[in-house]
Amino acid sequence: MFLHFLLVLHAVLTILVFIQAQAQQDDQSGFTSIDCGLPENSNYTEKSTGINYISDADFVDTGVSKSISPAERITHQQQLHFVRSFPNGVRNCYRINVNIGTEYLIRATFYYGNYDSLNKPPQFELHFGVNLWDTVKFPNASRTIMSEIIYIPSKDYIQPCLVNTGKGTPFISAIELRTLNNKTYIGDSKDSDKLVLSLSMRYDLGSITNLEYRYKDDIYDRIWSPYELSSDWRRLNTSLNNDDLFQDRYKPPSIVLSTAVTPANASSPLHFEWDVNNVNDQYYVYIHLYDFEEPAANETRTFNITVNGKLLYAPVIPRYPVAHTIFSTAPLSPAKRYEVSLSMIENSTLPPILNAIEVYKVKDFSQSETQQDDVGTVTNIKNVYGVARNWQGDPCVPAKYMWEGLNCSFNGLNPPRIISLNLSSSGLTGKIQYSISELTMLQYLDLSNNSLNGPLPVFLNKLKSLKVLNVAKNKLTGLVPPELLDRSRTDSLSLSVDDNPGLRITESSRKKNLSISLIASFSALNVVILFISLGFWMFRRKRATSTNSKDRVSMKLKHQAFSYIEIINITDNFKTIIGEGGFGKVYLGVLQNHTQVAVKILSSSSTQGYKEFQSEAQLLLIVHHRNLVSLIGFCDEGEMKALIYEYMANGNLQQCLLVGKTNILKWNERLNIAIDTARGSDYLHNGCKPPIMHRDLKPANILLDENMDAKISDFGLSRAFGSDIDSHISTRPAGTLGYADPEFQRTGNTNKKNDVYSFGIVLFVLITGRQAIVREAGQNIHILEWVSPIIKGGDIQNVVDSKLEGEFSIGSALKVVEIAMSCISPNFTERPDISQILAELKESLSLDMVQRHGERENNIIEWNSSQFQSVTAPFPR
């Protein structure tokens, strides 16, 4: 009877174990499987894997859904049939909820499938929040790219981001998250809270099927790839299922453990090798072992494992039927080549055995993110007001992708903080939200020219660092809080509240237009007061008369300040000169957080002088755009006056295009530089209120970063105007010979069309590869004098830089020439707005892509020379 009970109990336990194993095998509770581009509210189960996929519509606000070509859909799994493409914006991000402290496998998949019918896979960057995750580059159009990391999140969400680097439109096919056992990969490290592992390889070494295995074979949905058998190896295999073995916490699938390799010569070591590109990269290795051949009583299998001759583990004695994983608890010693060796020890009778191996590279995700309270607050502001801007990813970092309308402080190792918020002309409605007062480091707040209503709230006084508050041109009502008035009268706050008909300073004040005037007080000895951004911003703006002289205030807004000693340390005692201009020399610098910067020193013999130095400092404090160079900080100590900018690795366009460079700028690179420059100019002309004229646009003032993205610099001669149509009579010289508008030189009348003329000359320099003015036969030849007769003769090919050796689209070149000609029209009223120029340059780039990578264009393009108007104004020499 008791024996019968034991038999029944054993049967029940066996069934329970089987059910538990089966449930675990079918459990997707730790899976998040996102099909990018799948129509909203759609979901399905992929037939070959049984994985349940959902649409990405709830995780991203931007991008468009596209389908790969019908021929490609037949041969690929369903999650690759759609992609989400991001033709707009530089950085587009997903936001996916996760569990803090849980170890995740996170995988991004990219399959081109000719979804855009261009037959040209793009290249772009994949970011993880503020850190670079991977560069997505396709060796051929049929390749599927996967990027996989193992990560323990410290926040309750992650943000995978696609970044356009100018080499095609980013896209993504799938994002997959899998929860792991917290004691596996990263959990074994003492630095688990900081460690991020990126998959380099994961091989089923003894594979006899040449197939990939993933879920349901692998409960964590790791993808195991077959490995080509080495001539020095012998393959072993058996039939096996999960009931036949005892697994460790890594749980490699039984189908992978059912095959193995061993040395062809039993007495020889078993070697597995791989090369690396960067000797400074760090790697972890995981070696999976399972001896499915039960040794006889007189047999032993014992071996040592070394990596590049250094012992990793010894002795290894596989215990049948137990699967075992040997792993490195610290990064492997740096090397260009790694060799994992399994060597039989002296008293062993059986050779070593190896089933599978995983190799991970350590990723540097150490970039500081914006302080999380600021992130939450500004995200809430975005959602409440429905801010129609491409606010994606981290607000401040990387600095080149900082949200439009924000400025942030970067102070050493501390998290960046938001110090400036400009939501002017953003269509805001409703009341001023309390959450704004939670941006505790805010120094500059511009909510002007919206439709905000209700009172000007007293909670804004909580912003103790606030130096500028502009709520002009809204529908605010009631009294201006006395606390804000007191601060404005004691020089601690610049307050602008005009054009709010229902807003009053006192109960007796009934004026329709209310203004607290702003006086920008400059000290010739103090560069801190140079950063009087609102005074410059309001230059030439019409003001209502102040109700009281006590309402006049000075506004002093500081950027990050550096001491003279810090400037010496940053520049390594002014070791490396990277440029020189009217202000003085520019030096290469390195901040404490290893960020490279450019340090511009104001020389006592400067030809441009302190006033232009002021102008540049003021303007860069308040205008922020990805195609304008960013100001990081300043120094004012005695005679040391310095401005610190972001570093631009490829110098300026003058150097890259005209000064003996061995790498010739390609035609599409020139177009992208022109587009970036037009985009920055468009922001100055049409995105700033009042508009700003640069007044010295030329190749030397167009800087290029490591990705050849262009940014406009040198704003010492810039001016702001009261309206889009306003102009100004100036007796001061502005601009550079060859680029300055003859109309300005003749009349002194400066407006936006002067910049358009200069931009046209820049376009001709890009097209021809010639200087604006060339000295020939004892006289100065302006580029328009050289190019005009060639264009009128219809010889478009000889207009384009001969160094390109014909590698350009004729149709595209023709369109750019037409754009340039419209820019330099003698009648400045006929010159197009820079926004129109930007749109046409984008069309030219698209035309180049289509004609060069689609059907071959005709060798002869019909040219109508009557389209060209001779320049009747004298050529600037």
Q: Are residues 624 and 656 in the same domain?
A: no
Classify residue 719 by burial, with Cβ atoms within 10 Å: 0-12, 13-18, 19+.
buried
**Alpha-carbon span 728 to 750, nearest angstrom:** 5
pLDDT computed for residue 543 by the predictor: 32
Classify residue 470 by burial, with Cβ atoms within 10 Å: 0-12, 13-18, 19+.
buried
| Residue 230 maps to a domain | yes
| CATH of residue 492 | 3.80.10.10
Strands 585-590 and 596-601: antiparallel
Q: Are residues 118 and 172 in the same domain?
A: yes
- Tell me phi and psi for residue 244, to 5 degrees: -90, -5
| CATH of residue 300 | 2.60.120.430
693 contacts 724 by C-beta, under 8 angstroms: no
- Tell me phi and psi for residue 17, to 5 degrees: -60, -40
Among 282, 209, 288, residue whose Cα is nearest residue 252:
288
| Residue 6 maps to a domain | no
pLDDT computed for residue 604 by the predictor: 61
Measured CA angle at 144 (ends 143, 148), to 5 deg: 140
| Residue 602 maps to a domain | yes
Binding-site entries: 600
| Residue 7 maps to a domain | no
Q: Are residues 40 and 106 in the same domain?
A: yes
Q: Are residues 283 and 331 in the same domain?
A: yes
Question: Domain of 693?
Answer: 652-877
Would the CA dihedral through 232, 237, 241, 244 be positive or negative?
negative
| Residue 264 maps to a domain | yes
How many residues are there in the chain? 877
200 contacts 361 by C-beta, under 8 angstroms: yes
**Alpha-carbon span 77 to 573, nearest angstrom:** 59
Predicted confidence (pLDDT) per residue in 740-752, tens digit: 888 776 766 778 8
| CATH of residue 568 | 3.30.200.20
- Tell me phi and psi for residue 216, to 5 degrees: -90, -5
Is 796 strand, coil or helix? Answer: helix
| CATH of residue 682 | 1.10.510.10
Q: Are residues 143 and 233 in the same domain?
A: no
Q: Are residues 352 and 226 in the same domain?
A: yes
Helix (H) or strand (E) holding 620: helix 609-622
pLDDT computed for residue 875 by the predictor: 53
Read off the DSSP letter of residue 528.
G
> If you search the block for the tokens 């991001």, which residue do you land on?
86
pTM, two decimals, is 0.60
Helix (H) or strand (E) holding 590: strand 585-590
Q: Are residues 96 and 159 in the same domain?
A: yes
At which of 647, 663, 686 does a domain end?
Answer: 647
Among 452, 406, 392, residue whose Cα is nearest residue 427:
452
User: Tokens for 288?
Assistant: 């999976």
Among 858, 872, 863, residue whose Cα is nearest residue 795:
863
Which residues share a beta bridge with 455? 477
> If you search the block for the tokens 């001016």, which residue do you land on?
719
Is 833 labeled as catalytic in the residue annotation? no
Predicted confidence (pLDDT) per residue in 616-640, tens digit: 777 777 788 889 998 888 887 767 7
Q: Are residues 171 and 207 in the same domain?
A: no
Low-confidence ranges of the chain (pLDDT < 50): 1-25, 509-558, 722-733, 855-873
161 contacts 147 by C-beta, under 8 angstroms: no
Q: Are residues 270 and 404 in the same domain?
A: no
pLDDT computed for residue 574 by the predictor: 87
At which of 613, 647, 681 does a domain end?
Answer: 647
| Residue 808 maps to a domain | yes
Would the CA dihedral through 520, 624, 133, 180 be positive or negative?
positive
Q: What 3 state SS string does 121-142 have?
A: CCEEEEEECCEEEEEEECCCCC
User: Tokens for 607?
Assistant: 């030809």
Binding-site entries for ATP: 600
Rg of the chain's alpha carbons, rounded to an integer? 33
Q: Are residues 247 and 169 in the same domain?
A: no
Question: Can you say whether residue 147 is alpha, beta or left, with left for phi > 0 and alpha for psi between -120 and 50 degrees?
Answer: beta
Domains in the chain: how many in total? 5
User: Tokens for 293?
Assistant: 């051949």
Catalytic residue among 696, 709, 755, 801: 696
Q: Are residues 504 and 595 in the same domain?
A: no
| Residue 700 maps to a domain | yes
At which of 598, 628, 647 does a domain end?
Answer: 647
Q: Are residues 669 and 776 in the same domain?
A: yes
| Residue 21 maps to a domain | no
